[in-house]
Amino acid sequence: MDININPRDISPLSLAYIGDAVYEVYVRTHIMKDVNLPVNKLHKTATGYVKAKAQSDIILAIAGSLTEEETAVFKRGRNAHSYTSAKNADIVDYRRATGFEALIGYLYLSGNTARLEEIIKLSIDYIDNKIL
């Protein structure tokens, strides 16, 4: 897909909005690749990867591998003032998760697929290792 959007011009919450969807697609693809589970089981499994606490833990675990630019994008997302509140997470985890999603959205809209997939692989591997 040819995306002609400069992600630097997008609000951090809009980056998080698209990042949430992109990350969800990668997670769903990952959990479906080896098994044929009922949809409710797939949903429950995916939740372990995409909930705010998991994303907060992921960003803390991979922070050392982020570039300065990526860290700045994460911080923009983390510090953005959202008009929604966390449903099942504390505010610190929710904000970190928003920063993580903003980073995913930024990489996606930048067209930096290689780095996007590298970050998502680190993220999924982190959760896989936590679950096992």
The catalytic position among 20, 34, 90, 128 is 20
Phi-psi region of 111 (alpha: psi -120 to 50; beta: other; left: phi over 0): left
- pLDDT score for 37: 82
Burial of 68 (0-12, 13-18, 19+ CB in 10 A): exposed
Residue extents of the structural domains in the chain = 8-131
Q: Decide if 20 is catalytic.
A: yes
Residue 74 in 3-state DSSP? helix
CA–CA gap between residue 66 and residue 68 (Å, rounded): 7
Quick one: tokens of 79? 């510090």
Residue 2 banded pLDDT, cuts 50, 70, 90: low
CA–CA gap between residue 19 and residue 103 (Å, rounded): 7
CATH of domain 8-131: 1.10.1520.10
22-75 pLDDT per residue, tens: 999 999 999 988 778 888 989 998 999 999 999 999 999 999 999 999 999 999
